[in-house]
Structure 1
Amino acid sequence: MKNSVRENHDKRTCWCNIRLTEKEHEALFGKLKDTTYNKLSDYLRSIIFNKPVNVKVRNQSLDEFMNELIGLRQELNYLGNNFNQVVKKLNSIPPSREYLTWLGVSEDLQRQLLSKIGIIQVRIDQFSDKWLQS
């Protein structure tokens, strides 16, 4: 019986309505989007009762890192696909002049792939150094 009384006491049954202009409404929801709250009522209760409001923070270096990784991944996929095609071609033909041509192409693609892997390693090292300093 005590639990049901306590539940009724904690249940929100009162309403508080306000009118806003369109501009105010947009500003309010703009601020809500910058927080960790999913519901406007939770956000407003925090503000009204002077509770801390958790604001989302964008990490600029992480955004840059993600953009860099996306570009490098695309380049690696391109080089990896080309390298796989060359290796398949090499495996399908007997040693000949064509074989030697494809072998040269294979070696060139392998160098490009290793170069990109080196660039990725350098960028990862740079970002990790940057994060460790802060």
Structure 2
Amino acid sequence: MPENKEKTNNLTRRVESRISETKFQELLTILSRSQNQTMSSLIRDILCKQKLVVTTYDKSLDVFLEELSLIHQEINAIGVNANQIVRVFHKTGNLSKKLALAKKVATSLNEVLKKQDHLKMTISPLLEKWLQK
């Protein structure tokens, strides 16, 4: 807080100006997305050529993140099922039952591989977007 008081103590001159409604709306938009608390501090930062930090939010990522969450839940459920099968596999002494359980685990692992491929296809457009040069 002392730094803030020091900054405001140096601000002794008042400057006023008029701008158009469109510019004012632009400033309001920037203000809503920036870390500045007041319009004065935003304009002061612009005039002093301070670095402005503007936060943007891409709503298209909501659908993507929801799909990733569903894939995560599905893979997790498959993993839980595979663990249960392996637990029964280790407890049983019957060879034919072990063979059937091993086939179930193989099926579960194939499902995981399919989900992994689906995940790669889902992520690849986003990676292309992020890794643009």
Shorter chain as denominator, the TM-score bin is 0.5 to 0.7
Change (3 A) 1:50 1:118: closer
Residue in 2 aligned with 1:46? 42
> Which residue pairs with 1:83 in the alignment?
82
Q: How does 1:59-78 map to 2 (within 5 A)?
A: 59-78=58-77
> What is the root-mean-square deviation in Å for CA atoms of aligned residues?
3.5
Q: Which residue of 2 aligns with 1:4?
A: none
CA distance in 1 between counterparts of 2:78 and 2:126 reads: 24
Report how far residue 85 of structure 1 moved.
1.1
Alpha carbons 2:33, 2:54 under 8 Å: kept: yes
Offset at residue 79 of structure 1 (A): 0.9
2:31–2:42 Cα contact (<8 Å) kept? no
User: What does residue range 1-134 of structure 1 map to in structure 2 within 5 Å?
Assistant: 10-11=8-9, 34-37=33-36, 40-41=37-38, 43-47=39-43, 49=44, 51=46, 54-133=53-132
Aligned length: 110
Identity %: 23
Paired amino acid for 1:115: K
Task: Provide closer, same or farther for how the CA distance between residues 44 and 71 of structure 1 changes in structure 2, counting only shifts above 3 A.
Answer: farther
Give ranges in structure 1 of 5+ residues lacking alignment: 1-6, 15-29
User: Which amino acid is the alignment partner of residue 114 of structure 1?
Assistant: L
* CA distance in 2 between partners of 1:88 and 1:63 (Å): 37
> What is the CA–CA distance in structure 1 between the aligned matches of 2:62 and 2:35, rounded to whole Å?
19
Structure 2 residue runs without a partner (length 5+): 13-28
- Give the whole-Å Cα distance in 2 for the aligned partners of 1:9 and 1:68: 47
